[in-house]
A and B are shown apart, each in its own frame.
Chain A
Amino acid sequence: AQSVTQLDSHVSVSEGTPVLLRCNYSSSYSPSLFWYVQHPNKGLQLLLKYTSAATLVKGINGFEAEFKKSETSFHLTKPSAHMSDAAEYFCVVTLSGGYQKVTFGTGTKLQVIP
């Protein structure tokens, strides 16, 4: 079985300050992990994905995430928030070893204060 937990439903930061969105997962197999962003009334856009090649993953728009197996975490960070980063973010886990199934976290809404 697999699951993913996003620890904060809402995060508020000031423009220019760091962003941290937390995600923990559980998986019986080696997982694939992703972060998606959703702007209002839009579909989801892939920010970054974890491959087994590197534990620190860089994505679009200055975001990055670090895979920590010992902590079963995949937190999303950005050094300096921009107003355009205000959106909802979803952590996602999939696993192989059987038919692939995608499991979503419940999402974190990021508010950026001017």
Chain B
Amino acid sequence: DGGITQSPKYLFRKEGQNVTLSCEQNLNHDAMYWYRQDPGQGLRLIYYSQIVNDFQKGDIAEGYSVSREKKESFPLTVTSAQKNPTAFYLCASSIGGRAVMNTEAFFGQGTRLTVV
């Protein structure tokens, strides 16, 4: 089945440690996104990538890093520089590209990160 997979579902991290969240899709989508979700704040865009080997900062990129070495994969690293990393993280993908209409984003099931 085609879809987008995030792992792990729950993740605990000690303060000062970096941690990497996995996101894999087999939908052959060009575009991939990382969002952070906090109660009452909706989804905020961290990073997005429209094509392999290219990515752009979103609205809240500080303290995060990404890579896009393969079309299928868009891992997110939460670094120790992120001051308040405890949140629910959602990865999404869409067809992307130019002049593409009416294409929705597909979401993973999310990773809940807790800093202890």
Could you tell me which residues of chain B, from 87 to 116, have a CB within 8 Å of some CB in chain A?
88, 90, 92, 94-110, 112
| Chain A window 19-53, contacts with chain B (Cβ cutoff 8 Å), 1 for yes, 0 for no | 00000000000101010100001111110011110
Instruction: Kindly state whether residue B2 has any CB partner on chain A within 8 Å.
Output: no
- Chain B residues with Cβ under 8 A from A99's Cβ? 31, 50, 96-98
Task: Report the interface size for chain B: residues with CB under 8 A from the other chain.
Answer: 32
What's the least CB distance linking A10 to chain B, in Å? 10
Most buried by B among A9, A42, A49, A99: A99
Instruction: Kindly state whether residue B74 has any CB partner on chain A within 8 Å.
Output: no
B94 touching A100, Cβ below 8 Å: yes
Instruction: Kindly state whether residue A3 has any CB partner on chain B within 8 Å.
Output: no
Given A43-B107, A43-B108: A102 in contact with B100 (beta carbons within 8 A): no
- Chain B residues with Cβ under 8 A from A63's Cβ? none
What's the least CB distance linking A31 to chain B, in Å? 9
| Chain B window 41-78, contacts with chain A (Cβ cutoff 8 Å), 1 for yes, 0 for no | 11101001010000000000000000000000000000
A46 touching B104, Cβ below 8 Å: yes
Given A43-B90, A90-B42, A106-B42: A100 in contact with B109 (beta carbons within 8 A): no
User: Interface residues, chain A, CB within 8 Å of chain B?
Assistant: 9, 30, 32, 34, 36, 41-46, 49-52, 90, 92, 94, 96-102, 104-107
Selected A-B contacts with CB under 8 Å, 7 pairs: A32-B103, A46-B104, A90-B42, A97-B98, A99-B97, A100-B94, A100-B100
